[in-house]
């Protein structure tokens, strides 16, 4: 039996969520938005995604209220994509999926996430709890650093920016690189 195009017959909140974020590439676009990628060309370069696929994913994510399109340049008109509250609510899911993938399918830790506000040197716990101050860390207070398995000489400029510690959600500006 062929897999259908949607989950209309499923009475399940997971199925409804997959209607929005279950397409190939979609969670990677959202992940990059957490990393601070906001501009179409930056998503394109970092993900290596086909243009038509990226355009479709960004359209779906904005239509569904996961991303918001904001004009950053008038002439020529250019927009950036910023996570909304609905999009920010995906952080625990992405974090859990990343930990699961690292635990079961990867030998190398590519990224480390720490509590920026208290200055801990230790990684956040599985539920984003700070090992030093004990609080559950909001995504805006999460600092991302390259892990021991990160490529020290990545080919794309977005990955090169992410070799330095940065807070999640802070926009990546390639002009300053």
- The torsion angles phi and psi of 78, rounded to 5 degrees, stand at -140, 140
* pTM score, whole prediction: 0.92
Helix (H) or strand (E) holding 69, with range, is: strand 67-73
Q: Say what the pLDDT of residue 5 is.
A: 62
pLDDT band at 173 (very low <50, low <70, confident <90, very high): confident
Average pLDDT of the residues in 161-171: 96
Q: Say what the pLDDT of residue 176 is.
A: 39
Q: 99 with 129: CB under 8 angstroms?
A: no
- Give percent of the chain above pLDDT 90: 84
Residue 92 sits at the vertex; the CA angle it makes with 54 and 134, to the nearest 5 degrees, is: 145
Q: Say what the pLDDT of residue 175 is.
A: 56
Chain mean pLDDT for the chain: 92
Say yes or no to pLDDT of 76 above 80.
Answer: yes
Q: Say what the pLDDT of residue 41 is.
A: 95
Average pLDDT of the residues in 82-87: 98
Say yes or no to pLDDT of 7 above 80.
Answer: no
Q: Give 60's contacts (C-beta < 8 A, 6+ positions apart).
A: 20, 23, 26
Cis amide linkage into residue 76, ω under 30° from 0: yes
- Average the pLDDT over each of 4-18, 67-81, 95-109, 134-148 and give the range with the smallest value: 4-18
Q: What are 147's two structure tokens? A: 């892990």
Q: How far apart are CA 64 and CA 69, in angstroms?
A: 12
Q: Say what the pLDDT of residue 158 is.
A: 95
Residue 45 sits at the vertex; the CA angle it makes with 39 and 47, to the nearest 5 degrees, is: 95
Q: 22 with 51: CB under 8 angstroms?
A: no
Say yes or no to pLDDT of 1 above 70.
Answer: no
Instruction: Give the residue, 127 or 177, on which the prediction is more confident.
Output: 127
Average pLDDT of the residues in 117-136: 94
């Amino acid at each position: 039996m062929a897999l259908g195009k949607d989950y209309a017959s499923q009475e399940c909140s997971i199925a409804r969520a997959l209607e929005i974020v279950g397409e190939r590439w979609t969670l990677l676009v959202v992940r990059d938005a957490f990393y601070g990628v906001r501009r179409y060309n930056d998503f394109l370069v970092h993900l290596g995604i086909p243009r038509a696929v990226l355009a479709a994913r960004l359209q779906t994510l904005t239509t569904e209220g996961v991303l918001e399109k904001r004009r950053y340049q008038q002439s020529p008109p250019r927009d950036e994509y910023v996570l909304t509250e609905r999009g920010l609510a995906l952080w625990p899911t992405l974090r859990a999926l990343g930990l699961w993938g690292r635990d079961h399918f990867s030998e190398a830790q590519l990224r480390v996430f720490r509590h920026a506000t208290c200055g801990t040197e230790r990684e956040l716990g599985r539920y984003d709890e700070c090992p030093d101050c004990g609080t559950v860390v909001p995504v805006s207070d999460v600092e991302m650093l390259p892990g021991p398995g990160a490529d020290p000489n990545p080919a794309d400029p977005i990955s090169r920016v992410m070799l330095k510690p940065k807070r999640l959600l802070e926009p990546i500006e390639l002009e300053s690189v």
